């Protein structure tokens, strides 16, 4: 942990920003780099239920472009002497976070939990829970 990069997934929400502050604090303490990861989830719909005037590929491309712009702005605002890298992936958020952590041999994953409980928890996939259960490195979940 003390010499390996910290993985910090983001959905660009306020909660994710709060988690990122913890990631930077840990990275400064251990003098390691940070990889900020955003996962563009697969667009919903298929050829039978499409309600959009664009194809799923066009929608995914648009989502990636918007995410890339948000990532550029985010990294531009980070004044730090640390090595900061921004990455955008496509797919299931939990799977991509775990794959990225494995690929870089992350020392730690710091991510936000949006705190869904009860019926809302049932309806929304809990990415933080899935990552914490499957990760091979320490995971800090921030509310």
pLDDT tens-digit series, residues 98-111? 999 999 999 999 99
Minimum mean pLDDT range among 19-28, 77-86, 132-141: 77-86
How many CB atoms are closer than 10 A to CB 49?
A: 7
C-alpha span between 41 and 63 (Å, rounded) = 9
pTM above 0.85, yes or no: no
Q: What is the CATH number of domain 6-142?
A: 3.40.50.620
Whether the predicted pLDDT of 113 surpasses 50: yes
Question: Is the predicted pLDDT of residue 76 greater than 60, yes or no?
Answer: yes
Query: Using one digit for the tens of pLDDT, what is the confidence trace for 116-139?
Result: 555 444 444 589 999 999 999 999
Question: Domains of the chain: which residue ranges?
Answer: 6-142
Q: Residue 44 above 80 pLDDT?
A: no
Task: Please give the share of the chain, as a percent, with pLDDT higher than 70.
Answer: 78
35 φ/ψ angles, rounded to the nearest 5 degrees: -110, 115
- Phi, psi (5° rounding) for residue 118? 60, -135
pLDDT range class, residue 56, cuts 50, 70, 90:
low
What percent of the chain clears pLDDT 90, i.e. is strictly above it? 45
| pLDDT attached to residue 38 | 93
Q: Which sign does the torsion angle of CA 70, 98, 85, 21 carry?
A: positive
């Amino acid at each position: 942990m003390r010499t390996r990069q910290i993985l910090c997934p983001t959905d660009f929400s306020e909660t994710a920003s709060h988690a990122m502050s913890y990631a930077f604090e840990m990275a400064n303490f251990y003098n390691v780099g940070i990889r900020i990861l955003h996962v563009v989830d697969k667009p919903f719909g298929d050829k039978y239920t499409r309600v959009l005037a664009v194809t799923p590929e066009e929608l995914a491309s648009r989502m990636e472009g918007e995410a890339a712009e948000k990532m550029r702005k985010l990294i531009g605002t980070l004044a730090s002497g640390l090595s900061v890298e921004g990455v955008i992936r496509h797919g299931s958020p939990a799977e991509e976070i775990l794959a990225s952590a494995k690929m870089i041999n992350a020392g730690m994953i710091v991510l936000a939990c949006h705190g869904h409980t009860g019926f809302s928890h049932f309806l929304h996939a809990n990415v933080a829970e899935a990552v914490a259960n499957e990760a091979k490195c320490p995971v800090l979940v921030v509310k």
